[in-house]
Amino acid sequence: MHISFQGQVPKDLAYPDDIEDAFARAPDAGRVAISDGASESYDSRSWARLLVERFVADTHVDLGWLKGAIAAYKEQSDFTELSWSHQEAFDRGSFASLLGIEHVPEARRLEVHCVGDSVAMLIDGRGHLHRKFSYLRSASFRQRPNLLSTNPARNAFFTGWRSLESQIALWPLFPEEPWFVLCMTDAMGEWALRQHERRQPVWNKLLALEDQTALNALVAEARDNRAMRVDDVTLVRLAFHD
C-alpha cells in the first residue's frame, strides 16, 4: 500500500488555517485515517487529529479506546482556567467522524472502519467503482450523522467497531490488478457519489490528481458550479499493486 495523493482544501479560503479535517498514516503498518471535525464544536480540529493519530497507533476501537481518546482530549485544557463561554462550549463537546483503513496484505484484504459521514471508495485501475462505505448514496449525506464526541453522553450510539456491522467493511483485493481507495470527507464524498449516480463519474479525475494545485482547481470549479457543498475537503488516495 502506498499513499499516491493527499490533499486538503479549507472551507473558507479566507481562513486557511482553520481547516478542521485531520489525516494520519502509518504506512508500514498499512494504516491510514481521516477525520472531519464538525464546525459547531469547541475544538474539533484537536479532536479529529487525536482520533486519527490514535487509530493508526491502535485500530482496536472499542469503548475503552474511545474513553482513552476523550481523556487525552480533556488533558489538553485546564477547564478551571477557561472563560464561561469556553467552559460551556467545552462541555457541549467536540464532534468528528473517523474513517480508518487497515491493509491486511497476507489476506489480500482491506478493513474499512467508519463512524460518521466520511467515505471510502474502492476503484479499479480502469476507473470503475467497485465498493463504497459507509454511505452508499449521495442522499445519505442529508441525514445528521452520528459523530464521535468528547461529550460521553453523545456517544450512546457507539459500542465499538467490532460489534457493529454498519461500521466495518472487509474489501478483498483480488483479482490482481491495481486497486485504489479514495478516502474523502463529506463534501467531496457527496459530490463524487452524486456524479456517479448521474452517470458522470469523477473517479478518473480523482485518480489523475497529481498535486495540491490540481485539487484546489477541481474543488473551486465544483464549488463555483454549486455542485459541491462548501466545507473542508480532505482527499487521500491509496494505491495497491504488486
Partner 1 sequence: MPYEAEISRSSPTAFLFLVDQSTSMQATMSNGISKAQQVADVVNRTLYTLITRCTKAEGTRDYFDVGVLGYGGAEIRNGLQGALAGAVFHPISAVEASPLRIDERTKKMDDGAGGLIEQAVKFPIWFDPRASGVTPMCQAVARAADELADWCDAHPGSYPPTVLHVTDGESTDGNPERRAALLCQLETEDGPALMLTLHLSTAGNDPVRFPASESGLPDEFAKMLFRMSSPLPDHLLAIAQEQGLPVGTGSKGFIFNADVVEIVQFFDIGTRASELR
Give the residues lining the site for partner 1 (CB under 8 A): 11-12, 14-15, 39-43, 45-46, 67, 70, 77, 84-89, 91-92, 151-153, 230-231
> Is residue 3 within 8 Å of 19, Cβ to Cβ?
no
- In angstroms, give the least distance from the CB of 188 to partner 1: 15
> Is residue 192 within 8 Å of 182, Cβ to Cβ?
yes
- In angstroms, give the least distance from the CB of 230 to partner 1: 6
> Is residue 114 within 8 Å of 167, Cβ to Cβ?
yes
Of 169, 161, 165, nearest to 120 (Cα)?
169
Cell representation of residue 77: 485544557
Cα–Cα distance, 23 to 61 (Å, whole number): 17
- In angstroms, give the least distance from the CB of 149 to partner 1: 11
Cα–Cα distance, 87 to 76 (Å, whole number): 13
> Is residue 178 within 8 Å of 29, Cβ to Cβ?
no
Q: Which is nearer to partner 1, 17 or 242 (CB)?
A: 17
> Is residue 119 within 8 Å of 135, Cβ to Cβ?
yes
Q: Which is nearer to partner 1, 19 or 206 (CB)?
A: 19
Q: Which is nearer to partner 1, 121 or 219 (CB)?
A: 219
Of 126, 129, 141, nearest to 201 (Cα)?
129
- In angstroms, give the least distance from the CB of 131 to partner 1: 29
- In angstroms, give the least distance from the CB of 88 to partner 1: 5
- In angstroms, give the least distance from the CB of 11 to partner 1: 5
Q: Which is nearer to partner 1, 39 or 213 (CB)?
A: 39
Q: Which is nearer to partner 1, 84 or 174 (CB)?
A: 84
Location of C-alpha cell 494504516: 31
- In angstroms, give the least distance from the CB of 32 to partner 1: 26
Location of C-alpha cell 476501537: 61
Kindly give, in sequence order, each residue whose CB lies less than 8 Å from that of residue 57, ignoring residues fewer than 6 positions away.
26
Q: Which is nearer to partner 1, 12 or 176 (CB)?
A: 12
Q: Which is nearer to partner 1, 11 or 132 (CB)?
A: 11
